[in-house]
Amino acid sequence: MFGFFKNIKNKITDSIKKNDENNPEYRIKFARRISNKKIRYVSERIVDSNTGEVTDTIIGKDGFFNINKNNELSVYCGGEELFRAFTPNLKAYEFLSLEGAVLEAFDLCSNRERQIIAYYKYYR
């Protein structure tokens, strides 16, 4: 009887480990999952270091995600690359509404740490 409860406990802990945002494997899976989504627009979240004020600026419209052979997630809008980061280093969170995602990582395009918000296109 106790073996049954141990099996359930193992299944629960395995499912928790699979969704650990700090795990590079999870980050790669997340990047692959969003790579087939089209983007309506992308904004960049900028935090003022002096005042702590947060501003969101739209940096691109009508784009897509792409993963290249070097395991880098790129965000393209308007024919130009706006953001590129290694997927194992990418901190990404999807909205509860599943209408977009927040991506945070060191950007290889601008050579600085960035946080961007990508809103998906919604097809009815």
In a domain, 66, yes or no: yes
Which pLDDT does position 29 carry in this prediction?
87
In a domain, 2, yes or no: no
Report residue 63 as tokens: 């784009």
How confident is the model over 35-64, as a mean pLDDT?
A: 91
How confident is the model over 33-44, as a mean pLDDT?
A: 91
Q: Domain with 31 in it: what CATH number? A: 2.30.29
pTM of the model: 0.78
In a domain, 47, yes or no: yes
At 117, the pLDDT band (50, 70, 90 cuts) reads: very high
In a domain, 38, yes or no: yes
In a domain, 64, yes or no: yes
Backbone angles phi, psi at 89, to 5 degrees: -100, 0
In a domain, 84, yes or no: yes
In a domain, 61, yes or no: yes
Under DSSP, is residue 54 helix (H, G, I), strand (E, B) or coil?
A: strand
At 104, the pLDDT band (50, 70, 90 cuts) reads: very high
| Domains in the chain, number | 1
Which pLDDT does position 82 carry in this prediction?
93
Rounded Cα distance between 120 and 40, Å, is: 5
Which pLDDT does position 49 carry in this prediction?
85
User: Which residues, in sequence order, are bridge partners of residue 5?
Assistant: none
At 48, the pLDDT band (50, 70, 90 cuts) reads: confident
In a domain, 73, yes or no: yes
Domain range for residue 31?
A: 23-120
